[in-house]
Each structure stands twice: as structure tokens, then as C-alpha cells.
Amino acid sequence: MAKIYCMSDIHGFYEEFRKRIDQIKALSGENDKLILLGDYVDGGPDSFKVLELIRSLQQRCPERVIVLMGNHEKWFLDFAGGKDQWGMPDTEDKTLFSFLSEEQFDNVRKLVLSDTSRNVYTYIRKCIRESHGDLIDWIRKLPLYYETEKQIFVHAGIDEEAGEHWKLGTSDYMFLNKYPAETGDFHKDIIAGHIGTAEISGNRDFHDIFWDGESHYYCDGTVFVSKKIPVLVYDEDTGKYHSLRDDASLKTISKE
């Protein structure tokens, strides 16, 4: 039986992500796919390690590992391209520091004591460009959506008012930043991240997959609060959706 495993909003939490990847590897078959919906950086301490793991997974299985861009990757590209301000406050600059070697980090500490913040970020940007140019190129080429016969996988959402012409009607900004989360019926299932399921559900303690009862499934479990990354599992043979539990069992979250 072929399955699709889907995760979103890793936000630099490498250990939590690694646990889920190991769990999926133990369960997956040769025809299964992994789809990642973006926001791999910002929040946790290991943004660089998360990106490297994702890229290595895709390089090993390019037909089975689908990696989409999120708004935080776009902000990272903007910074690498010359924009001084990060799109979202990078707490203690830990996202940026995760890309630096020990020597580069020591140089940053010296600059902080003797120079302006603008020059500090100019140096960090230079280090990232020189050390991780291939990674930047890989991120830049990430697609904004992935479509199957029955589904649209996307980071934030699409222009649903455009109906069957959603590809033309949806701007790049909406693919990455749509807010608030939309619910209701659409001609395909829409699987997205971006907005925490605690917010969508109205329950601050809910950090699992959220299904609106119709065509929308949301996967952002607010990992920096919950320390868990939800996994949506779609069984292509039965057409059912499930949430992967910590003990590797499946909880059905769509209609029988």
C-alpha cells in the first residue's frame, strides 16, 4: 500500500524532526512519498542541520521526497540576497549562527564588541554565501506547491475563489503567506501548514493535524511550543487520512 507522509513547520527543531524521519523510515514502503510543506528554519537551534537533512533525503530519493518552500525560507533568501532585516525576529540570532563555523562565530563575537550591527550582519551574510552557496541555490529552486490527482500540497494556501484556475489566480505571496486559514469545500483536498493548528482549532493545547470536516488539512503543530511535529499520513489505496501517533499507530482523521 502506497502512502504519503506529510510534515510542515520544522522551524530548526532537528531532534524532533529526526525522530519523525526515523519513524517514517521504519514504516515506509518503496512507493511511499514524503512531502514537506516549508518553514524549516527559524525558532529552534538547528536550522542548518534541518536543511541539510532534508536536502540529503531528497538527493537520495528525488522522486519520493517533495520539498516545498515556506515563507521563512523566502525570508532567509532575502537576507542572503542583501536585506538587513530578517522577516521575523531571529531570537538571539540562533538561526543565523547555525550556519557558521566556530571560527566564523568567534569573529562575529569580536565584531559585536567593536562594530555596528549592520557590519555584523554583512559579515554573517558573506559567510553564509561563501560557505553555503549550493544550499542557497537549492532553496531558491524549491517549488511553491505540489499537486496530485486529488490534492494540493502548499505551505500557506491558494486562491480558492479562482476555482480550477487556482494556479493562475494564486500569487507567490499567497502561496507562502495566506492568512487566515481557509476552511470549507474545494474540488481538491488542500494540505497546508503555516498557521498553528492550535489557532485554527481554537484550542491552545491542540497541536495535532487539524481537519475542517471538508477539504482542508492543516499540519503546523507549533513545534516551538509543543516540541512535537505532527505527521499527516494519506493512504492512496483507501483514500483515508491519518495522524501518526508517537507510538507509530495511526489515528484516522477523515470520514470512513
pLDDT one-digit tens code per residue, 213-252:
999 999 999 999 999 999 999 999 999 999 999 998 999 9
Residue 117: pLDDT band (50, 70, 90) is: low
For 184-199, write each residue's pLDDT tens digit.
Answer: 999 999 999 999 999 9
Residues 6+ apart with CB under 8 A from 84: 118, 121
- The set of cell numbers assigned to 34 is 514524503
The span from the CA of 106 to the CA of 175, in Å, is 38
Round to whole Å and give the CA distance between 247 and 19.
Answer: 12
* Pairing label, strands 232-235, 240-244: antiparallel
Summarised one tens digit per residue, pLDDT across range 170-179 is: 999 999 999 9
DSSP 22-57: HHHHHH--TT-EEEE-S--SSSSS-HHHHHHHHHHH
The fraction of the chain above a pLDDT of 90, given in percent, is 79
Q: How far apart are CA 158 and CA 144, in angstroms?
A: 10
Q: What are the pLDDT digits (tens) for 38-77?
A: 999 998 889 999 999 999 999 999 999 999 999 999 999 9
Return the pLDDT at 190.
98
Instruction: Find the DSSP H helices in 85-209.
Output: 94-97, 102-114, 117-131, 133-140, 166-169, 172-177, 197-201
| Residue 163 DSSP one-character state | G
Q: Are 144 and 175 in contact (CB under 8 A)?
A: yes
Compute how many other C-beta atoms are within 10 angstroms of the C-beta atom of residue 127. 19
Chain centre to alpha carbon of residue 169: 23
Rounded-to-integer distance, Cα 46 and Cα 54, Å: 12
Beta bridge partners of 217: 191, 211
Q: Whole-model pTM?
A: 0.94
